[in-house]
Amino acid sequence: MALLRAVVSSVLLSRVLLALVLDLDDSFKDSRMEDVWLVDFYAPWCGYCKKLEPVWEEVGAELSRSGSPVRVGKMDATAYSGMASEFGVRGYPTIKLLKGDLAYNYKGPRTKDDIIEFANRVAGPAVRALPSRQMFEHVLKRHSVLFLYVGGESPLKEKYIEVASELIVYTYFFSASEEVLTEAVVLPELPSVVVFKDASFFTYDEYEDGSLSSWVNRERFQSYLQIDGFTLYELGETGKLVAIAVTDDKDQSDHSSRLKGLIQRVATEHREQFNRDFQFGHMSGNDYINSLIMGEVSIPSIIILNTSNEQYFLPAEPVEDLQQMLQFFSSVLDGSAPAYGGDGIFQRIKRVAYDARSTIMSVFRSSPLLGCFLFGLPLGVISLMCYGICTAESDDGTEDLELMKAEEEEEEERLTERTEEEEEQTDRTAEEELTESKSPAEKKLD
């Protein structure tokens, strides 16, 4: 009985969660402007979409429970392909937050907490006001990276609001008066735009940092962080080179710890020299890096990735101290370090072959029988076709040869017969001439 009640409760809970995620159709185009929507565009056959489905139900339940104004829905992009195209859907699943005429793409990890944090951040105002010092201190503790405009109305504030509307998908933007700041925050001038991160703050300088949008894009990450596949994808959009200590988190050896410590020191102690061009971090394991470079890096080691052109740099010898680390980074910047990889035609062909090989190996590792069926059957069919073609060509050649031989024999027989006829004709002619040359007496005797 208890088991039955548990099953019934589970079914009812599942139905409640599903009710909080609406199935959208063509009518959504006319009604979406009335609310802020978080929509999952999916395909029924997509494996990643099926994996996201339970997470999406939890997202809908949590946003509803917290009183968020964001409504959660999902749309079969294959059934409503026209609408999916209007929203710029190119793959599955695609997560978008729709607010008025604006559509924001979500590119982060597909976890409940990350998706909810994105929805709440983007659904609110692009720039949030901080009315008190208490609120300022609260957001400093809550966010690892945030941007703050300090001052009154100005052209810089207008530009700041414009940049915030564009980049709100990545980070938080706030505004405040100078009185809200703590005594430790001293600004050279007002108005100013400041980024708070790494237990410090850094002020935007238009003459040194270029456009505000580019500066925010470069500074939206902590100087040093743990890197995974999703993070590396976003780091590539900053335009920086990504310097990674490739380690094994389970390996607590001195070499691994020293390598991470050295790259952290470069990120903090030498920020002025390298921050504009490098993003620093570490990655546990080398599988992801190996797939990117189509090779193998040892653990622990240092690698610098240029995600814009798929080049990478490796130190000529193991890095043992800070001076060697600094020399390696400097050699990358001045062009003396050799670059590997790239996005040339040879590398693209190599990538196709590598991906095909990886896919085949993955299938065989997970299911050898399925691999034999998927790849063995087509190869067998192709082999039979090739054998048939070659055999047919061989048979045709044999028949042609036999035909030529028969024609030659017929020609020889005709020549032989003609020769014999000519010889007989010659003999008859000779006899006739001999007969005519004889006298009448000889003829009578004959």
Phi, psi (degrees; rounded to nearest 5) at 39: -120, 135
Phi, psi (degrees; rounded to nearest 5) at 116: -65, -40
Output the CA–CA distances (angstroms, integers) from residue 55 to 24, 58, 59, 114, 211, in the order listed.
18, 5, 6, 11, 38
Q: How far apart, in whole angstroms, are the C-alpha atoms of residue 119 and residue 37? A: 9
Active site (annotated) includes residue 46: yes
Nearest Cα neighbor of 236 from 325, 305, 327, 303 is: 305
Q: How far apart, in whole angstroms, are the C-alpha atoms of residue 33 and residue 30? A: 7
Question: String of b and e for 286-312 (b: at least 16 CB within 10 Å)?
Answer: beebeebbbeebebbbbbbbbbeebbb
Active site (annotated) includes residue 372: no
Q: Are strands 70-76 and 301-306 parallel, antiparallel or unpaired?
A: unpaired
Catalytic one of 46, 372, 386, 390: 46
Q: Is 322 exposed, middle or buried (0-12, 13-18, 19+ CB in 10 A)?
A: middle
Per DSSP, helices labelled H in 225-321 are 229-236, 254-269, 271-274, 287-293
Question: String of b and e for 142-176 (b: at least 16 CB within 10 Å)?
Answer: eeebbbbbbbeeeebbebbbebbeebbebbbbbbb
CB under 8 Å to 58, separation ≥6 — which residues?
A: 17, 112
Q: How far apart, in whole angstroms, are the C-alpha atoms of residue 327 and residue 306? A: 18
Rounding to the nearest 10 degrees, give the CA dihedral for residues 114, 119, 122, 127. -80
CB 108, CB 114: distance < 8 Å: yes
Q: Which residues are catalytic?
A: 46, 49
